[in-house]
Amino acid sequence: MSQRGLGSQTIGAFLDELASDAATPGGGAVAGITAAAGAALISMVCNLTIGRDKYEDVEDEMRGYLDEAEAVRGTFLDLAEQDERAFEAVMAAFKMPKGDDREKAERSAAIQRAYEGAARVPIEVARRAVGLMPAATACTARGNVNAASDGLVAALALFAAAHSALANVDINAGELKDETVAGELRSETASFKASADELLRGAQAAFAERMS
């Protein structure tokens, strides 16, 4: 992971790290950053709506969505960094000694804990991204019509973030020996995927309506 937090990195510096042969950052970090971009776009639409006489009747609603988006935007960046650390923990566990049965058992347990941790972070990204999608739809439907496309892009970004994060859940859950935990993660994953799909259709319909 970069010695600087993601929030203080330039986009170019992050992309350089992403393109390198380093194991982190990877797709999980991209999911978090994409979700943060979706949240920022919701804020943009709200800020372009609040204070306009034409949208006075939805001003309070937009203020609520603005508060919601701003509250979670930084969290998404934090989760992106947590995702990096979680995968680094997996790599560290694999480097543990395995000279005797005790060391092998400790290493195996550490690997399993690390894989579960690496699944828990992206599922939180997905949970929060899906939870923010209704705000994107509402902004698309009732926010400043000139920013309706930005509202839809927000929904698309959150959708992509959710599905991207859930791919990381799937791959890490697949390494778990505890079928109860793995099954719970897979069940949550399926639920979030279905919700994201449905919510995106709603946002697309809202955009089409604004353009008609």
Look up tokens 């804020």; give the residue.
43
The CATH code of the domain at 24-211 is 1.20.120.680
Q: What is the pLDDT along the chain (212 residues), one digit of tens a residue?
A: 444 577 778 999 999 999 999 888 999 999 999 999 999 999 999 999 999 999 999 999 999 999 999 999 999 999 999 999 999 999 999 999 999 999 999 999 999 999 999 999 999 999 999 999 999 999 999 999 999 999 999 999 999 999 999 999 999 999 999 999 999 999 999 999 999 999 999 999 999 999 99
Give the largest CA-CA distance in the chain: 74
User: For the chain, what are the domain ranges?
Assistant: 24-211
Tell me the pTM: 0.93
Token output for 165: 């994060």
Q: What is the pLDDT of residue 78?
A: 96
The Cα 125–Cα 160 span in angstroms is: 11
Task: Return the number of other C-beta atoms located less than 10 Å from residue 174's C-beta.
Answer: 12
